[in-house]
Amino acid sequence: MINFKNVIAQMIAAATNLEIEDLEEYIEVPKEAKNGDYAFPCFRLAKELKKSPIVIAQEIKEKIKLDGNIVEKMEVVSGYLNFYINKNLLTKEVLTQISKTDEYGKSNMGKRKTILVEYSSPNIAKPFHIGHLRNTVIGAALYNVYKYLGYNAIGINHLGDYGTQFGKLIEGYKRWGDNYNLEENPIESLMEIYVKITNLCKEDEQVLQMCRENFRLLEQKDPYCVELWEKFKNLSLTEFQKIYNILGIKFDSVIGESFYIDKMDKIYELLEDKKVLKESQGAQIVDLEDKGLGVCMIKKSNGSSIYVTRDLAAIRYRAQAYDFDKCLYVVAYEQALHFKQLFEVATYLDIEQKCKEGLVHVQYGMTRLSTGKMSTREGTVIKVDDLLKEAISRVEDIIKQKNQDVENDQVDAKKIGIGAVIFGNLANTIIKDQVFDWNNVLNFQGETGPYIQYTYVRTKSVLEKAGYLPKIEEIDETKLADEYSQNIIKLIYFFQDILIQVTKKDEPSILARYLIDLSKAFSSFYNENKIITEDKDTKNARAYLSYAVGNVLKIGCKLLGIEMPSKM
């Protein structure tokens, strides 16, 4: 497909002697169509040329020889030089590209680059709640987009299967384990035990010390403690996998913190060799005060490990195993200090510089209840399996109310319900906090996942009414020169650029908002233009444009982890 930004950059470069690469960085896409398809802001040149931006824009315009087959016209507006792409050329380029592949927007731009994405990472023996859901769908969307753009993307589920909490759980199980059937309700039972022992620890310091001793024994591979720990882990993984299956989530690597236990001695050794490991009140620390990051504890005073050390071991292992270009950690912003400390201490490890520079904390906002923050210890969480079942159930009720005679009611209800939940977690900038509300999550009106799915179903309906999909050779692009058709064409043209923006900012909401915009554009097109007309050329063009919209919506939603229903 023609890179129109590059074409315009070449035109400006010939008129100014500026570098094409720099010009491509400067060229913008106006928010309003009336200001053209591309705009070159001349303010950057005003100081150097000692002229007003308007004068500069006018002078550049006069030096450019316009090729109407590519750029229809240029205009100077308030210091901007605006370019209008030939509508027929743009339309033909977009629809021809759509006709060539079922994977429109796919690229090999990431070839030979490895991106690790750590996401989901639930804690063993604790419920998979809506906080974990957000983490999971954000990470999965990033993983999918990177992979679609040709990167060697590797999805990692870094399980929380080690730490002092297991000392607590072991102690609780010793006391009350016989009262529970772990095989029947493993997570619920383990959560109840954990809440009870946590409350007891608050009341009795001696019990807390017993829990800490249990964890110390676990680290020393005490047979009884290890047996319990493995039991808790296996039961939890089985339950988590049920949720991943419903969501369609897959990982390339499922490794817990415990995997790195035998790799921590090397971390201590490296930090000692760099003379940054110090003793403080019996504990081992790295002082980061001069970096404004306080003190990072590496080993507790009782000799037990801490999760930052396991994270350091994980970084070193991943650098050696994958030689990654970027390693994304999809973790809530509450852990911002931890990752700043982690990445700073990682500079002392014996790994490639690109790996050190490629460590990225993808921060997202917390999910809170309207009554306050969720807490596993307090037992105030909303479990994901309950949420998904409720979402599907509500959609089934809606379908029944409409008395639709749909063969795949249950299948479509599942796709719509889960799609609503996933999109609700990706629709807005991920750094923003979310207040969980059943009505908002399952609101099928407005800018939601179901709205996009409905638009897709409508495009399919158009083709069913037409009775055929026209061949690309039968499309007369001049029939799509109207404002509503062109709005769609431009959006489809920029689809790959949207995916690139997602990876540059590690922000899947960019794609989510784009899909809403495309759905709105199609709705306007559908309302303003009669598609099934007597004029066959017009009918062919509009039907094919509907097909193109459905194609892009389906691809975009799939990248977000959302499936399309057959009917709505």
Q: Model-level pTM? A: 0.92
The model's pLDDT over 374-414, given as tens digits with 9 standing for 90+, comes to: 555 555 567 888 888 888 888 888 877 776 555 557 788 89
Tens digits of per-residue pLDDT, 489-498?
999 999 999 9
Strand extents, DSSP E, 281-412: 283-287, 295-299, 326-332, 359-364, 367-369, 372-373
| Beta carbons of 72 and 92 less than 8 angstroms apart | no
**Hey, CA dihedral for 258, 259, 264, 270, is it positive or negative?**
negative
Which pLDDT value is given to residue 375?
56
Q: Residues 250, 139: contact at Cβ < 8 Å?
A: no
Task: Kindly report which listed range (145-149, 443-447, 479-483) carries the lowest average pLDDT score.
Answer: 443-447
Average pLDDT of the chain, as a whole number = 91
Q: What percent of the chain has pLDDT over 90?
A: 75
pLDDT band at 132 (very low <50, low <70, confident <90, very high): confident
pLDDT band at 474 (very low <50, low <70, confident <90, very high): very high
Flag whether pLDDT at 297 surpasses 90.
Answer: yes
The predicted pLDDT at position 401 comes to 77
| Contact residues for 327 (Cβ-Cβ < 8 A; gap 6+) | 115, 116, 118, 315, 318, 355, 358, 359, 360
Give residue 426's pLDDT. Answer: 94
* Residues 326-360: tens digit of each pLDDT: 999 999 999 999 999 999 999 999 999 999 999 99
CA distance linking residue 354 with residue 364, whole number of Å? 24
Closest CA to 57 of 37, 41, 36: 41
Q: What angle do CA 97, 100, 101 make, to 5 degrees?
A: 100
Residues 6+ apart with CB under 8 A from 162: 256, 257, 258, 261, 305, 307, 310
- Token pair, residue 432, equals 């923003």
Q: Say what percent of the chain tops pLDDT 70.
A: 95
What are the φ/ψ torsions at residue 503 (nearest 5 degrees)?
Answer: -75, -30
* Torsion sign, CA atoms 350, 351, 353, 359: negative
Q: Give the pLDDT mean for 279-284.
A: 92
pLDDT at position 267 is: 96
Task: Tell me phi and psi for residue 339, to 5 degrees.
Answer: -75, -30
The 10s digit of each residue's pLDDT in 204-239 is 999 999 999 998 899 889 999 999 999 999 999 999
Name the residue among 560, 443, 431, 461 with its Cα closest to residue 508.
560
Contact in structure between 109 and 149 (CB atoms under 8 Å): yes
Between CA 289 and CA 310 the distance in angstroms is 22
Selected residue with higher pLDDT from 478 and 184: 478
**Token pair listed for 544:** 């094919």
The answer to whether 218 and 229 have CB atoms below 8 angstroms apart is yes
Q: Take residue 7 and report the two structure tokens written for it.
A: 């074409």
E-strand ranges in 160-210 read none
Helix axes 223-247, 186-203, angle to 10 degrees: 130
Domains (range + CATH), the chain: 4-85 (3.30.1360.70), 119-373 (3.40.50.620), 384-560 (1.10.730.10)
Q: How confident is the model at residue 31 (pLDDT cuts 50, 70, 90)?
A: confident
